[in-house]
Amino acid sequence: MKTTATNLIRWAGLAAMGTGILFVVIQVIHPLDVLSSVTTPQWTIVHYLGIAMGLLGMLGITGIYARQVEETGWLGLAGFLLLGFFYALTTAFQFVEALISPVLATAAPQYVEGFLGIASGHATGFDLGALPLVYTITGLAGYLLGGVLFGIATFRAGVLPRWAGALLAFAVVLPFFTAPLIAHPYDRILAVPMAIALAWMGYALWSERRGQASEPVPGRANPQLRQAGAK
């Protein structure tokens, strides 16, 4: 397969499918957000998968945006940048939880418990500086606003399945209305619609069949055709 813009976008579809699948897998096998879990192999595996999810997410939404860049306009650009911001910071948080928190679980347990409290929503009283604010901004500006804008832009563009875009916009709003009604960690099930939307759009990219992947390069025509044209 030639490395062309079209093929790269199609491969980005696989990345979007991968991040959606990992989003669900992580919720299913994620251990409890307690100090004793941080030093377990299951904790490490989950957050290594979280790093992979974040990296695949950045590649996936880049391909989705590139496929419909002209049709989505400024709305798509804003959604893409905000959602990319979410995935970038999520990857950073997952990196800390995978590689740093297990090391500090014994040396600085209060710090680790405070870090766990950010995700679970249970304040521990330990001062983590700007981290809680950064986490909140990541959720509100990146996940919520970015997802809504990107989903609406995808729906309006009509390049990829419209209902996948609508599901994305709905999925990112859902937790902010229903999470208070569902105790943690059972609220992890709310990640499923988001995962389905990303995997759906990723599959649409991957399975898409279009014309030629690239324009012919001038001067590289078939020799027989050149000879025929010279007669």
pLDDT over 60 at 85, yes or no: yes
pLDDT over 50 at 16, yes or no: yes
Residue 123 binned pLDDT confidence (cut-offs 50, 70, 90)? low
Average pLDDT, the chain: 86
Please give the pLDDT value at position 70.
Answer: 93
The count of residues in the chain is 231
CB distance 15 to 3 below 8 Å: no
Please give the pLDDT value at position 20.
Answer: 94
Residue 213 binned pLDDT confidence (cut-offs 50, 70, 90)? very low
**Mean predicted confidence (pLDDT) in 118-127:** 69
Taking only the tens place, the pLDDT of each residue in 165-181 is 999 999 999 988 887 78
| Residue 92: Cβ within 10 Å count | 14
Q: Report d(CA 88, CA 225) in Å as an integer.
A: 50
Please give the pLDDT value at position 23.
Answer: 94
Residue 219 binned pLDDT confidence (cut-offs 50, 70, 90)? very low
Q: Report d(CA 148, CA 157) in Å as an integer.
A: 14
Question: Pick the residue with more confidence: 184 or 21?
Answer: 21
Please give the pLDDT value at position 231.
Answer: 45
Secondary structure of the chain as H, E, C letters: CCCCHHHHHHHHHHHHHHHHHHHHHHHHHCCCCCHHHCCCHHHHHHHHHHHHHHHHHHHHHHHHHHHCHHHHHHHHHHHHHHHHHHHHHHHHHHHHHHHHHHHHHHHCHHHHHHHHHHHHCCCCCCCCCCHHHHHHHHHHHHHHHHHHHHHHHHHHHCCCCHHHHHHHHHHHHHHHHHHHHCCCCHHHHHHHHHHHHHHHHHHHHHHCCCCCCCCCCCCCCCHHHHHHHHC
pTM: 0.83
Q: Where are the domains of the chain?
A: 5-208
